[in-house]
Amino acid sequence: MADNPDHQVQERRRQRPRRLLRAFISPDSYGLVLLLILVTYVLSATMTAPWAVSLVLFVQIATIWVTLQASEARRRVREVASGLLVVSAAIAILNLFISRETADGVMAVVSGLLYVAAPAVIVRRLVLRRTVDTQTVLGAIAAYLMVGMAFAFAYRALGTLQADPFFGSEGEGTFSQDLFFSFTTLTTTGYGNLVPDANPGQTLAVMEMLTGQLFLVTAVAKVVSSWRPGRGRGRPPTEADGN
């Protein structure tokens, strides 16, 4: 009975929901990284309370920590990242006692640095993986979203630190507008309602557009085209997988 092909197919189908659940709750899973990125996005775009800045930073610390776990980062990288995460936690607590404008600027700079490092760690891990499975696909998506988040925080930092309004006649902008502008630029949607008024914002926008397109046509496209559901779960590839 156990060797019956139909029984094996049915057993794999029954196990699929559990595998999917593990992919999103396991501490060494890119699915959990993806969920934390989405939580960061929602919190950043919707919450305006003064303590929200600290909450966002703490969620980002958790995101980077899970990213390092899932990526099996080198010991030296983990040690350096752990030091940065401790500093970030201290800044998150300090933000509770300083002005909102200063807190926004500090949060944007720290968050941007965290999100710049994380995609590089993920991409390195994906390159070293011998199989292209669900975790590989989730990792590629997580890295892509992190790039958009990193640029959004860079725009927020410029908006709070430079003298002139970042969006010109539209003003300095809110962080939800920075997120909107970042992801429409990353995906080259470009609605045109928000435009950086001058450099370095314009240069950053061009860099984000190029980065987003190169990432899509190289890393993400390669991962998705090579993905075969069922690989990487303990069975060798079959002829059917290659067709």
Q: What angle do CA 217, 223, 224 make, to 5 degrees?
A: 85
- CA distances (Å), origin 3, targets 8, 9, 11, 15, 54: 7, 11, 11, 17, 55
pLDDT in tens, 18-58: 665 565 656 568 888 999 999 988 988 888 777 887 888 88
Q: Is the omega angle on the peptide bond into residue 200 within 30 degrees of 0, that is, cis?
A: yes
* Burial state string for 192-204 with b = 16 or more CB within 10 A and e = fewer than 16: eebbbeeeebeeb
Q: Residue 216: which H helix or E strand, with range?
A: none
Neighbours of 226 (CB within 10 A): 13
Q: What per-residue confidence (pLDDT) applies to 240?
A: 47
% of the chain with per-residue pLDDT over 70: 79
* Whole-number Å distance between alpha carbons of 203 and 184: 16
* Whole-number Å distance between alpha carbons of 156 and 150: 10
pLDDT in tens, 199-236: 999 999 999 999 998 888 887 777 777 766 655 444 44
* Whole-number Å distance between alpha carbons of 14 and 16: 6
Q: What contacts 236, CB < 8 A, 6 or more positions away?
A: none
Mean pLDDT of the chain, nearest integer: 79
Going through the chain in order, the beta strands assigned E by DSSP cover none
* Whole-number Å distance between alpha carbons of 35 and 138: 10
Q: Is the pLDDT of residue 8 over 60?
A: no
Name the amino acid, one letter, at 176.
Answer: S
The whole model's pTM is what?
0.78
Query: Average pLDDT for residues 139-148, to the nearest whole number?
Result: 91
